[in-house]
Structure 1
Amino acid sequence: MELSGKVAIITGVSKGIGRATAEALLAKGAVVAGWGRTAPEGLANERFQFFECDIRDEVSVKEAYTNTLRELGPAVHVLVNNAGIGNFGPIDGFSSEDWHAMFDTNVHGLFYCTRAVLPEMKKQQEGHIINVASLAGTAGTAKLAGYCATKYAVRGFSDALFKEVRPDGVRVTCVMPGSVETNFNGAEPGQEPDPHKMQPEDIAAAIVHALEAPQPVMISELQMRPTQPK
């Protein structure tokens, strides 16, 4: 897809992979609607607009989509389902609230956003949905069982969805990064980039690569790992 002038929605846009993806798409000439509970600080671009949205809330998603169409036009070409949270710990010490919070964001919110954009994408016979999962969707890890469960769900959803919507000209890509240096799980990125982790910009570049693939090509899954992990 040629990204210049195309409208892209990115969830979880305030920091990390979401923000890096917004900046990468803006650099390609796209018009970006950033959805999130908090706006990204200092992201000033005439082609960027922030829409307050809690993707865990079905009504909030519908309102954000309606507002996006009103402000940016009737066509949305790209959806990047990036918003996600991870709560770690042993299952027998895990709170139901933490469990539900992950599923409400990582799975249910992703479904609400996808369902919102699909009718128009199918009508225009063009669109690309990027679901940011994780390598935690490919193998279980102790004390990450809940998070792994959500990312397995995202991977399964993506695999089924691409088969469902490919006749309509809509592409679906599941991006599965390993260790990325972000605020994930309460961690603060260091002043100097960690050479043993990928950077948010690396994941954003892979997303752009998938989006820019020629229309007959669909990159259905992308697994990404640090070259030299610790």
Structure 2
Amino acid sequence: MELVDKVAVVTGVSKGIGRATVEALLKKGCLVAGWGRTAPDIQHTNFYFFETDVQDLSSVKNAYHGTINSIGDDVSILVNNAGLGFEGELEQLTEEQWSTMFRTNVDGVFYCTQQVLPGMKELGEAHIINISSIAGQTGIPGMSGYCATKFAVRGFSQSLYKEVRNDGVKVTCIYPGSVQTNFFDSIDSVTANDNMMQPEDIASTIVHCLESDANYHHVDIEVRPLKPKG
């Protein structure tokens, strides 16, 4: 896909992978709508921020209509990045923690995708990138709730790409290993460090997928630090 002047939506843009992805897409000439609770410190004529709670369908609908009204074109790119996780053995997880993870990590992906998909089909060339996790491929002790949500993103992605491939819409699911972001602020067993991947690394993978030939489709991509312990 040629990225210049394409409308891209990125969720969870205040920091980390979301912010790095916004910056990478702006460098490529995209018109970028950031959907999130907190605006990033990005000053760019092609960046539009819409305060959005991806857990709330009405909030997502408002962000979508605001994007279309502000930019004036259908969305060609959606990066479902917003997500969170709580650590704890199953009996330690509260109902609110479990529900919050599913509302954000799963319902949010569904709500955002459902809003942009009809327009993408009309365009005949579009791309949805879903950020899962290594936790979406294997169980991790003390992370059963988070793993459950990321396995759900995996299943959603693999089903959706088969639904929409003939409409010219690609769906790619990326499974990052450890990335140095604020995600680990709430994970006591892991401390973010310089041996982890950087948000810009994931953003570069996203751009690579988006710029691929129209008939070349990255379905699943697993990425990890080569030397996680330095």
Say whether the fold is shared (TM-score over 0.5).
yes
Find the aligned partners of 1:115 and 1:75 in 2 and give their Cα distance.
13
Is the counterpart of residue 35 in structure 1 residue 35 in structure 2?
yes
- 1:196 maps to 195
Q: How does 1:51-200 map to 2 (within 5 A)?
A: 51-186=50-185, 194-200=193-199
Find the aligned partners of 1:126 and 1:212 in 2 and give their Cα distance.
12
Tell me how far 1:187 sits from its aligned partner. Answer: 5.9
Find the aligned partners of 2:20 and 2:203 in 1 and give their Cα distance.
6
Classify the secondary structure of the residue corresponding to 1:68. Answer: helix
Classify the secondary structure of the residue corresponding to 1:216. Answer: coil
Q: Is the 8 A contact 2:24 2:203 kept in 1?
A: yes
Find the aligned partners of 1:155 and 1:50 in 2 and give their Cα distance.
27
- 1:50 maps to 49
Q: Is the 8 A contact 1:17 1:204 kept in 2?
A: yes
Q: Is the 8 A contact 1:87 1:185 kept in 2?
A: no
- 1:205 maps to 204
Classify the secondary structure of the residue corresponding to 2:214. Answer: coil
Find the aligned partners of 1:187 and 1:14 in 2 and give their Cα distance.
17
Find the aligned partners of 1:78 and 1:5 in 2 and give their Cα distance.
11
Tell me how far 1:186 sits from its aligned partner. Answer: 1.8
Query: Aligned letter for 1:9?
Result: V
Q: Which structure 1 segments of 5+ residues have no match?
A: none
**What do the CA deviations read for 1:85-119 (whole angstroms, capped 9, x no partner)?**
01110101110000000000000011000000000
Query: Aligned letter for 1:19?
Result: R
- Percent same amino acid among aligned pairs? 56
**What value does the CA root-mean-square deviation take over the aligned residues?**
1.2
Find the aligned partners of 1:218 and 1:8 in 2 and give their Cα distance.
18
